[in-house]
Chains A and B, each alone.
Chain A
Amino acid sequence: MKFSELKAAFFYARKDIIKDKKVFFFITAAIIFATANIIVVNGFMGGIADDLIDNSIETSVGHLNVYPRDDDRFIEGIGFKEQKLASMKDLVAFSSRLYAGGTLSLRDITTTVNIIAVDVENERKITKLLEKLDTGSTLEPNDRDILISYRLAEDMKADVGDHVTLVFENGDSKLYKIKGIIHTGIYELDVDTIFISKTELNQHLGFGDKASIILVKLTDKDMAEAKKQVFIDELGVSKVKTWVEEIEHIVKSMGAWSEFSNMVISVGLIASAISVGVIIFINVVHKRRQIGIMKAIGASNSFVFIVFIIEAGLFAILGVAGGDFLGYYATKYFETHPFWEPITRTWFRARFYPYLLYNASIVSFGITIIAGIYPALKARKTNIIKAIWG
């Protein structure tokens, strides 16, 4: 196709799309909303996923997490291992925890609980677990009080300042004051957990030189995979998990949600593509005689095809530009105005990433052009004689 033909095709297509302003507005609006929909929905999916991942990392796991062997309950020789860790490179902090079981009683309610005993000072260097409070105040290094999870507090009708009886797994019991109520946003921690200092737990259970897990914070979390084997070799342990492995279930779950949202987006896109395709097709049918005349006066088949592809392209450019604009500002709005989700008690927040614009633009533009292909082929095949004389 010659450049002059391309210019003429662009000229005609531009005039044709704005001839009927209502139709022009309708098609453009359909593409705008379909494009914005991709950006906003993916912005929400990305935002929720990232919040969940960030929350999980900062609350419950280290960049590297050292576990006991599969058949053991505890990691033995913590003192030696902590000395080793203190001399290792690229490491910001480490902290060990002890996990145990027990029962908690308040008034006439008694329930089984999981006990997480932390090294308060070191835990703060790695996670924000102890800062995730709904009410009350957090544990201090020499505290003899406890924190309880918010669901446990609801179930036991417990509040800050209440005194509860904790019976340890060896039968020892003690009356503790509830200092704060913790709300992490992670189901396993929020259901039936109490938080206590390691010193306090060891006084009753005497676990001494043992730990259930050692959490390690690296200078860069992306180094975790590379450092994993170094830790196994240096500490003489067999089970070390990276943060990615720890939250694999969340990543997979978000992947499933992402697929679902992609399906919803696809339906919107297909609806938009069909509306564009149908309107261009109707335009082609209505213009049959004009297309015949166009070919009679010397327009080639490829010229006619290109005219309608350019029309689809112009709709796509305008729609995608408008959609990007709307999608950007809507996503930014939902970044600062998140939805409160009362069941999981977390904020559903959208997050804007530049790739959202690229992806939405490419997909929306491509779909609109594809929608224009069939009508353009139909126009290309118009028989001159039948078009002009019926």
Chain B
Amino acid sequence: MKIIDTIYLKKTYRLGRIEVNALNGVTTSADEGEFVAIMGPSGSGKSTFLNLVGMLDIPSSGEIYLNGTDTIKMDERTRTEYRLKNIGFVFQFFNLFMELTAVENVMFPMMLSGHPFHRERAEELLEIVGLNKRSNHLPSELSGGEQQRVAIARALSNKPKLLLTDEPTANLDTKITREIMELFRTLNHDQHQTIIMVTHNPELGEMADRIIHFRDGKVEG
């Protein structure tokens, strides 16, 4: 079953008087349980595509279906609710809430959605990412790799259908990068988590089930 289906997706930004076509008619899809890498040079539209699929931004034209639902027609409130319950994000710069401990960061989306056992579930998730002993530490007390693991646990907290990651290992060293990628593979294999990962790194792309190449705002090939 297709979890992502985009039809002739376009996104145009205006920079002063200049119009920039970030996406120029992208038609692609991803199946449930797939681990897809999106690769391409800088400015090819990878992150823009991820933002549109993640409902963080609205396309200039085209259609996006997530799990068969037309997301373009949703109002702001419904989009926010859908994002909370169906999509997990892992960003390049970890982006944890600095005033919350690791476990509180993971709890937070579950508190928003009204999950009754948010602390227990957060502890479980931290155990899955191997950080159960560091759960009461603030982000400033964690290494980069540990922070990214917390971010992954947080992204998984509401059992999202879709995990979107944008250069998740760009700021990590080789050893930690490998550990994070192993974690993604485990989540994909063991829990059938659909993962869409934007990356520059061909080695990381090879670890995905499939690679979609972007160039000049279009899917290549």
Contacts and interface: CB of A to CB of B under 8 A. Distances in A.
Interface of A: 2-5, 7-8, 11-12, 15-16, 19, 289-290, 293-301, 303, 384-385, 388-389
B113 A296 contact: no
Contact of B91 (A5, A293, A300): A293
Contacts of B154: 297
Chain A interface, DSSP helix/strand/loop, else mixed: helix
Given A12-B97, A290-B98, A385-B57, A297 B51 contact: no
B84 A298 contact: yes
Contact of A12 (B84, B88, B108): B108
A296 B112 contact: no
A295 B113 CA distance: 13
Interface of B: 47, 51, 54, 56-57, 76-77, 80-81, 83-85, 88-89, 91, 93, 95, 97-100, 104, 108-109, 111-114, 154-155, 158
A8 B99 contact: no
A298 B95 contact: no
Contacts of A290: 95, 97-98
Contacts of B113: 4, 298
Contacts of B95: 289-290, 293, 388
Given A297-B108, A298-B85, 7 more contacts: A4-B114, A8-B112, A12-B100, A19-B98, A293-B95, A297-B84, A388-B91
Contacts of B88: 297
A284 to B, nearest CB: 14
Nearest to B151: A293
Given A296-B56, A385-B56, A15 B111 contact: no
13 contacts: A8-B108, A11-B104, A289-B95, A293-B89, A293-B95, A293-B97, A297-B108, A297-B109, A297-B155, A298-B81, A298-B113, A299-B80, A301-B80
Given A15-B99, A388-B95, A8 B111 contact: yes
A2 B111 CA distance: 11
Greatest chain B CB density within 10 A among A7, A8, A299 is at A8
Nearest to A3: B114
Contacts of A4: 111-114
Contacts of A299: 80, 84, 112
B51 A298 contact: no
A298 B83 contact: yes
A3 B114 CA distance: 8
B104 A389 contact: no
A346 B85 CA distance: 71
Given A15-B104, A299-B80, A5 B112 contact: yes
Contact of B80 (A11, A12, A298, A388): A298
A279 B93 CA distance: 26
A15 B84 CA distance: 21
A73 B179 CA distance: 107
Contacts of B100: 12, 15
A300 B77 contact: yes
Contacts of A303: 112
Nearest to B138: A19
A19 B100 CA distance: 9
A94 to B, nearest CB: 73
A4 B104 CA distance: 15
A12 B111 CA distance: 10
Nearest to A286: B98
A43 B77 CA distance: 49
Given A4-B112, A4-B114, A12-B108, A300 B97 contact: no
Given A8-B108, A289-B95, A384-B56, A300 B47 contact: no
A289 B95 CA distance: 8
A258 to B, nearest CB: 43
Given A303-B112, A385-B56, A297 B99 contact: no
Contacts of A5: 112, 114
A303 to B, nearest CB: 7
Nearest 8 A-B pairs (CB), nearest first?
A: A298-B84, A4-B114, A8-B111, A19-B99, A293-B95, A15-B99, A300-B80, A298-B83
A388 B109 CA distance: 17
Greatest chain A CB density within 10 A among B47, B83, B85, B88 is at B83
A380 to B, nearest CB: 12
Nearest to B81: A298
A3 B112 CA distance: 9
Given A15-B99, A290-B98, A385-B56, A301 B76 contact: yes
